[in-house]
């Protein structure tokens, strides 16, 4: 299939790269919205309580959902269930929310090695996009090494880095060690409740520059011509804070009645084989309630002229650490936040590197999307059956 209908660049996205303006970006740096203002008059106990509350799953951030500003809550953390291999709990959460966040699922050092490999290769091919070592050191306080998660500061104006179309980079052993790790096979088999899964040889390895993002979509429009039992794992290569362009998931959108008409209309459309249609529902997450209202409730509500309340979209995101993974269902509405990083106010963005890997069960009962040619099993074996 054409690689990038879900991406942000011209040749990779079937549409112009979407960038947010500097003004939008400066207003939107993911700012935690605290539930209560801090005062010094509170007791130690109260402060402790508040800190717990701030760290709770209900913490809210302002974030650029593409070109629109939205608020998002923190993703629910399923790491304990993963560590206990509690498949009932993991599947129950996945079925309810349409996603799973698992922290520290992959070895941190492997993920950082993959990041270093991706950035080194990209810097060789697009040297003009990256700040020089000196500039980087200045910005990153000396932490300029690719290896330890540093590096990746872009020159002002750098855009359309084109990593997605460089599949030889995605195929590097250090990168495959992460994107096709046994832990991901285990997760996909457990969530999909099957004996064996396979993963697409093609990998959606992205280097996202300042102002860029992926618009609101479901994977079904890109990968839905085969089995519906297909999942995506979103793997941040390094720390990806919300402001760097983290994943944003509309929790429950795969089952919610608010999204039903969108699932039936947009969700059953497919991106043209020539990749000329972006496949995005919108590039503005703040528009989604209006789109749901328009498509779901054209009659205007209760028949007595009272417009129905706008549906609430439960956007979820988080600051990702190296090793964290988010799994998504094929009908879960999601996008990535705009990369509004501005390293030390320099006007330079930090590149966001991440990779989406797709998974489905092996076997005749699970048809493949004809747009995807090559599939791989554990150990990198080609899956021909
Ligand atoms: O990483 C991104 O920008 C978005 C990834 C994504 O949504 C996808 O590939 O389905």
> What pLDDT, in 10s, does the model give residues 66-79?
999 999 999 999 99
User: The tokens of 121 are what?
Assistant: 């290769």
Ligand 1 centre from 214 Cα, in Å?
6
Ligand 1 centre from 335 Cα, in Å?
6
Ligand 1: atom nearest CA of 334 is: 7
| Beta strands, E only, 4-148 | 32-33, 60-65, 68-74, 99-102
| Residue 70 included in any domain | yes
Q: Are strands 68-74 and 315-317 parallel, antiparallel or unpaired?
A: parallel
Number of domains the chain is built from: 1
Ligand 1: atom nearest CA of 7 is: 3
Which of 89, 38, 117, 30 lies closest to 65, judged by CA? Answer: 30
Ligand 1 pocket, mutate which of 206, 340, 355 (most atoms under 8 A from CB): 206
Q: Is the dihedral of CA 290, 230, 232, 368 positive or negative?
A: negative
C-beta separation of 223 from 300 below 8 A: no
CATH number of the domain encompassing residue 318: 2.60.120.620
113 vs 47: which has the higher pLDDT? 113
Average pLDDT over residues 146-169: 88
**Degrees, nearest 5: CA angle 92-243-98:** 15
The least confident of 9-13, 228-232, 340-344 is: 9-13
Give, using CA atoms, the residue closest to atom 10 of ligand 1: 219
Position 1 scores a pLDDT of 33
Position 277 scores a pLDDT of 54
Expressed as residue numbers, the domain containing 74 is 10-31+54-362
Position 271 scores a pLDDT of 73
Say what the pTM is. Answer: 0.85
Report the side by side order of strands in the sheet with 334-336.
Answer: 32-33, 60-65, 68-74, 315-317, 247-250, 334-336
- Distance from C-alpha of 254 to C-alpha of 218, rounded to nearest angstrom: 9
Ligand 1: atom nearest CA of 356 is: 9
Position 216 scores a pLDDT of 95
Residue 355's pLDDT band (boundaries 50, 70, 90)? very high
User: The tokens of 236 are what?
Assistant: 């941040």
pLDDT at residue 145 is higher than 50: yes
Which of 105, 62, 98, 61 lies closest to 81, judged by CA? Answer: 105
Position 294 scores a pLDDT of 75
Ligand 1 pocket, mutate which of 63, 164, 204 (most atoms under 8 A from CB): 204
The least confident of 35-49, 55-69, 142-156 is: 35-49
Which of 245, 232, 233 lies closest to 154, judged by CA? Answer: 245
Q: Is the dihedral of CA 188, 352, 12, 107 positive or negative?
A: negative
Task: Supply φ then ψ for residue 225, to 5 degrees.
Answer: -90, 5
Q: How far is CA 316 from CA 208, 261, 356, in A?
A: 20, 22, 18
pLDDT at residue 47 is higher than 60: no
Position 310 scores a pLDDT of 83
Ligand 1 centre from 80 Cα, in Å?
25
H or E segment to which residue 54 belongs: helix 44-54
Ligand 1 pocket, mutate which of 334, 339, 355, 359 (most atoms under 8 A from CB): 334
User: The tokens of 37 are what?
Assistant: 């203002």
Position 13 scores a pLDDT of 34
Ligand 1: atom nearest CA of 222 is: 10
Ligand 1: atom nearest CA of 335 is: 7
Average pLDDT over residues 245-269: 95
Which of 346, 114, 357, 361 lies closest to 238, judged by CA? Answer: 114
Residues with CB under 6 A from ligand 1: 6, 204, 206, 214, 219, 232, 334, 336, 354, 356
Ligand 1: atom nearest CA of 208 is: 3
15-26 pLDDT, tens digit per residue, is 334 566 655 554
- Distance from C-alpha of 319 to C-alpha of 246, rounded to nearest angstrom: 7
Question: Which residues are bridge partners to 55 per DSSP?
Answer: none
| Residue 272 included in any domain | yes
Average pLDDT over residues 32-54: 37
Say what percent of the chain tops pLDDT 90: 69
Q: Are strands 352-361 and 231-236 parallel, antiparallel or unpaired?
A: antiparallel
Mean pLDDT of the chain: 83
Average pLDDT over residues 59-67: 95
Ligand 1 centre from 301 Cα, in Å?
34
Ligand 1 centre from 202 Cα, in Å?
14
Give, using CA atoms, the residue closest to atom 7 of ligand 1: 335
Residue 131's pLDDT band (boundaries 50, 70, 90)? confident
User: The tokens of 57 are what?
Assistant: 């799953």
Ligand 1 centre from 321 Cα, in Å?
17
Average pLDDT over residues 367-376: 95
Position 132 scores a pLDDT of 74
141 vs 204: which has the higher pLDDT? 204
- Distance from C-alpha of 200 to C-alpha of 206, rounded to nearest angstrom: 16
Helices 182-192 and 87-97 meet at what angle, rounded to 10? 70
């Amino acid at each position: 299939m054409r690689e990038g209908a879900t991406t942000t660049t011209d040749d990779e996205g079937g549409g112009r790269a979407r960038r947010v303006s500097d003004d939008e970006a400066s207003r939107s740096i993911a700012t935690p919205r605290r539930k209560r203002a801090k005062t010094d008059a509170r007791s130690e106990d109260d402060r402790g309580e508040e800190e717990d509350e701030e760290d709770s799953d209900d913490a809210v951030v302002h974030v650029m959902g593409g070109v629109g500003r939205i608020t998002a809550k923190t993703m629910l953390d399923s790491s304990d269930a993963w560590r206990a291999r509690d498949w009932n709990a993991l599947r129950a959460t996945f079925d309810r929310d349409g996603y799973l966040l698992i922290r520290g699922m992959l070895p941190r050092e492997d993920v950082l090695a993959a990041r270093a490999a991706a950035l080194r290769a990209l810097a060789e091919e697009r040297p003009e996009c990256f700040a020089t070592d000196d500039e980087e050191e200045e910005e990153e306080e000396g932490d300029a090494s690719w290896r330890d998660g540093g590096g990746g500061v872009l020159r002002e104006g750098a855009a359309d880095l084109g990593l997605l179309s460089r599949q030889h980079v995605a195929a590097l052993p250090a990168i495959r060690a992460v994107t096709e790790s046994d832990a991901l096979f285990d997760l996909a088999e457990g969530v999909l409740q099957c004996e064996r899964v396979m993963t697409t040889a093609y990998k959606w390895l992205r280097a996202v520059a300042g102002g860029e993002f992926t618009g609101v979509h479901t994977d079904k429009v890109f990968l839905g011509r085969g089995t519906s039992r297909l999942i995506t794992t979103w793997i941040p290569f390094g720390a990806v804070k919300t402001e760097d362009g983290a994943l944003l998931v509309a929790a429950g959108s795969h089952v919610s009645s608010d999204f039903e008409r969108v699932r039936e209309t947009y969700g059953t459309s497919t991106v043209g084989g020539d990749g000329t249609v972006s496949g995005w529902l919108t590039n503005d997450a703040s528009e989604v309630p209006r789109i749901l209202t328009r498509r779901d409730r054209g009659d205007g509500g209760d028949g007595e002229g009272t417009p129905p309340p706008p549906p609430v979209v439960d956007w979820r995101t988080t600051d990702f650490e190296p090793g964290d993974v988010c799994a998504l269902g094929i009908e879960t509405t999601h996008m990535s936040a705009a990369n509004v990083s501005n390293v030390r106010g320099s006007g330079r963005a930090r590149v966001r590197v991440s990779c989406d890997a797709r998974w489905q069960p092996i076997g005749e009962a699970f048809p493949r999307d004809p747009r995807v040619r090559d599939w791989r099993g554990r150990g990198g074996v080609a899956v021909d059956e």
